[in-house]
Amino acid sequence: FLLPLPQLSRALLHASVGPVHGLGMRKSPEARARQMKAWTMAYPSECLLNTIDIFLTIEFGVNSADLKVPTCVMYNPSDPIVCLESFKKVLQAAPSISYLKVADSEEPHNLTGNLMSPSTVDRCSRHFIDFLHANLK
């Protein structure tokens, strides 16, 4: 779904965000310090092309009637990056969908994990394990 010329895609990306994308630049110093322990904090902007391609594939290339697997979706309505309504539209015909609202995560996009949203690990893990038990018979 991306532009047919990879060089043009890279040139447009570099023109809009630069050759290197920095992660967590708007986070608090404490949050950045936690991220720096385990995450790459700067990476080539070309990595964003994969993210854009996944979004475009989901948005325009997935026919929800073709979905054959149960799906577990955890979301934070305050997530500044992911749009739940877009996912709901794509997943509307999935055979089994389980939604878990995680509005209390320390980071709105990082819903769970010991590093950025530790308070939600137990609840999200339990939800996913229950989902697996219910759907893997």
Please report the pLDDT score of residue 111 as a whole number. Answer: 92
pLDDT band, very low/low/confident/very high, at 91 (cuts 50, 70, 90): confident
Please report the pLDDT score of residue 71 as a whole number. Answer: 87
Q: Note the pLDDT tens digit of each residue in 107-133.
A: 898 899 988 899 999 999 999 999 999
Q: Does the pLDDT at position 24 exceed 70?
A: no
Please report the pLDDT score of residue 88 as a whole number. Answer: 85
Q: What percent of the chain has pLDDT over 70?
A: 92
CB atoms within 10 A of CB 101: 12
Contacts 24+ apart (CB under 8 A), 50-53: 52/2, 53/1, 53/2
Model-level pTM?
Answer: 0.69
d(CA 39, CA 130) in angstroms, rounded, equals: 29
